[in-house]
Structure 1
Amino acid sequence: MTMPLPDDEVLRRQVHPTAWHPSEPKIDSSAFKPRKNEPDGRISCMRAAVDPADAWKRYSGGDERRSAGTFGVRVDEASEVGCGAGDDSHEPDKPADHAFIEVRPDERSITRKARALAAYATARGPLFTP
């Protein structure tokens, strides 16, 4: 069972360097599409209780080639574009502060949802960059 999250919570998502274009500034929609290790359509995030710099360090191990930084999307923003969000930290393979945004196709494609999530994260700006 997934635990619900407060609508105003900003979930932390790591963005690969190829998906972050700081000169524009813009995040590519690929940052919010499920990766190969996310086959269930749940993109991995950390809860807002995790400091953005700590989220980056935990994910990247300090390697700037793995993540350009920590970016955020609010739970209600994900909901607005048809994506669910939840806390799955109770699952055995997840850390205590893990959450997800569910990006699955319905009347809107994954690409349209990912573009909308990227736009929210772009508008918010980076929460942390190395």
Structure 2
Amino acid sequence: MSMTIVLSACAPAVRQSSSSASPGAPNPNGCYAFIFSDVSYAGERTVVNGPRRISSLATLPSPSGTWDGRIRSLQVGLSATLSLHAQPELSGATARFAAGTSVPRLDASLAGKVRSLNLECRP
């Protein structure tokens, strides 16, 4: 007598963009930032591994287009510093976030207005 066992599972779809060398996986050295399209770490998410300078978030793909003007919350890795800028080429209104920072809601001056970013790594 032979027996066949069939297992199946369903998992919810995870919406994240493949914007870095290792999509969805943070740099193990702690130099990364998670960015989210909605407040409280909700909506679309991607990981940006550093060091990385993105002069225009219009070049960073997301499932629904690009990240240009869409960041509303973020988490910074333990070995990173993140600078967000309201204009391309790292200009305009700027906010800087230290290593280990979690921001569930960006300030109104930048929420949905970020056009470029710079992610620096510390040794």
Same fold (TM over 0.5): no
TM-score (norm 2): 0.31
Of Structure 1 and Structure 2, the greater helix share is in 1
Which has more radius of gyration?
Answer: 2
Of Structure 1 and Structure 2, the greater strand share is in 2
